[in-house]
Structure 1
Amino acid sequence: MFIRFCCVVRAPEQAGEFLDHKVDDRLYALYHLVAFRGLRRGEACGLRWADVDLDGRTLTVATQLVQDGWEIEETGPKSASGARVVVLDTETVNVLRAHRTRQLSERMAWGPAWENSGRVFTQDDGTWLHPGWPSDAFEHAVKASGLPPVRLHDLRHGADM
């Protein structure tokens, strides 16, 4: 069981250590957005490429994927203030460009079986990324990194929003 401990708020260098540990992970860009731009898990999973303007260095939080039991559904943001435009720094734009390249490689590997969901973060076959999956992967990655316990949600609290 994880004890709630915001290592990111108390020690930003630990967030950097964690991200360095996961730089080659296919969810790296998701973790980066949560840590540096403050997206919630469901907002990241629901993010559409149509809502990302890499040249303009913004993304618009317009949808989220919500977990109900194990089922997922698309909804609007959690609150009125959740619908927002997020300004992206140069590093985040670079991370998202690299992620898009990786996703296009996966699309080519899957060929016609790849599902074009339009999402930034997907399973490797293009289908929606279940919001529980990044949380579980994050928990395992934190344990493997040797860093103090922290939840994926806690990572966003150190973001420069």
Structure 2
Amino acid sequence: MVWTPAQLGAFLDHAHHDRLYALGHVVAHRGLRRGEACGVAWEDVDLTAGLMAIRRQLVQNGWQVIESKPKSEAGNRFIALDAGTVAALRAHKERQDRERKIWGEAYQESGRVFTRENGEALHPASVTARFHQLAEDVGLPPVRLHDLHHGAASLMLAAGVPMKVVQETLGRSSVALTADTYTSVFHEVASNAAEAVAALIPRARAGSATPRPRTHSPKGDHPEVRLPR
């Protein structure tokens, strides 16, 4: 199950003042997995160029947290950041800089983008718990944090983003896997695209997509053009 765009918007509006708002924003808009969001470091982010490199993740083994490489070669990737996501990350960095000053020498320089107040790396379980609390606060249907990853794919497809770009953004190993996962969404988008193409072709016959405006006399000033059989 994924939230509708309206439900996702309500969640982000409610979470906007949370100190980890930017994490939810990035997951919702760019489809990062939980472990990827917890693992990304500032050295992996170029806010001027609008790029984020996914090179590592924090995975939970029991309660222990381990840093590892992405789960597949496709997971090691660059993600383009839209202007809104860049703005959210800039605001988050300013907040993190203020926390660093408050903690002083006690601040733990983990280098991570998303951290605890004292700079320590986040535990993935705490991220999930906070996500569920925020969703419950606003009265949204219960979904998994990972469903925001799926929802990002659905939004990209609905916006007309090519399947290949969706695959690379999500770190999927193949277009086929992406298409298999999002068949229902892709079918709707493909159908809409087909209708849009048909609407571009002017037609004179009744029931056709778009009537062609007459530019000559209905008596037929021009010879009829027949297509070869």
2:2 to 3, 6, 21: 6
What letter is aligned with 2:109? N
For structure 1, the 5+ residue unaligned runs are none
2:108 to 96, 115, 130: 115
What residue number does 1:67 align with?
60
Alpha-carbon separation, structure 2, partners of 1:78 and 1:99 = 27
- TM-score normalized by structure 1? 0.93
What letter is aligned with 1:138? F
Tell me if 1:135 matches 2:110: no
Alpha-carbon separation, structure 2, partners of 1:27 and 1:41 = 13
Tell me if 1:35 matches 2:31: no
Give, in angstroms, the shift of residue 65 of structure 1. 0.4
Alpha-carbon separation, structure 2, partners of 1:111 and 1:134 = 25
What residue number does 2:94 align with?
101
SS of 1:91's equivalent?
helix
Alpha-carbon separation, structure 2, partners of 1:68 and 1:137 = 20
Alpha-carbon separation, structure 1, partners of 2:2 and 2:32 = 16
For structure 2, the 5+ residue unaligned runs are 157-168, 170-229
Query: Which consecutive segments of 4 or more residues in structure 1 shift more than 2 A?
Result: none
Which structure would you say has the larger Rg? Answer: 2
CA RMSD of aligned residues (A): 0.8
- Name the structure, 1 or 2, with higher relative contact order (CA <8 Å, separation 6+): 1
Give, in angstroms, the shift of residue 92 of structure 1. 0.3
SS of 1:73's equivalent?
strand
Alpha-carbon separation, structure 2, partners of 1:133 and 1:33 = 17
- TM-score normalized by structure 2? 0.66
What letter is aligned with 1:64? Q
Q: Deviations over 1:97-155 (max 9, x none)?
A: 00000000110110000011100000100011011111011111111110111111101
What residue number does 2:149 align with?
156
Alpha-carbon separation, structure 2, partners of 1:77 and 1:59 = 14
